[in-house]
Amino acid sequence: MNMRLEKEEREFAKWILEVGDGTADTILSHTSSNEEGEQIVVDQRFMIPSTDKPHEALAAAAYPDFLHNYRNKKYLTERAVLTPTNSTVHELNAYMLSQVPSQAKEYLSSDSVELEATPEDD
């Protein structure tokens, strides 16, 4: 791994921990109702430019060359997208699955199985 990339990954990991611990740099801000609050300062390197296709932009940033790598387990396990809500996760998952050039299959599972009653159980 190249040293510059390793340093950037360490810096990003440190920043993520600071966000989670509530110690990341913040700035004062005012909401539309003029309430005072704080916003976390995000380094521009971690920002994705605003676009009319946000799912596509996020997917391209987190999963470059996805169509050639979607079957590669190592490629997939080296990447993650964190979102504040499950609805955003579902939207992004739907977009990513729509990019895979094959028919989707749904596999159902169960946490427990109810056994069918037999005459001997009565």
pLDDT tens digits, 3-35: 777 888 898 889 989 998 999 999 988 776 667
Q: Which two tokens stand for residue 2?
A: 């190249």
Q: Which helix (H) or strand (E) holds 35?
A: none
**Is the pLDDT assigned to residue 113 strictly greater than 80?**
no
Residue 54 CB partners (closer than 8 Å, separation 6+): 48
Which residue blocks in the chain are alpha helix, DSSP H?
Answer: 3-21, 54-62, 66-69, 73-77, 86-99
Assess contact for 63 and 69: CB atoms under 8 A: yes
Percent of residues, the chain, with pLDDT higher than 90:
45
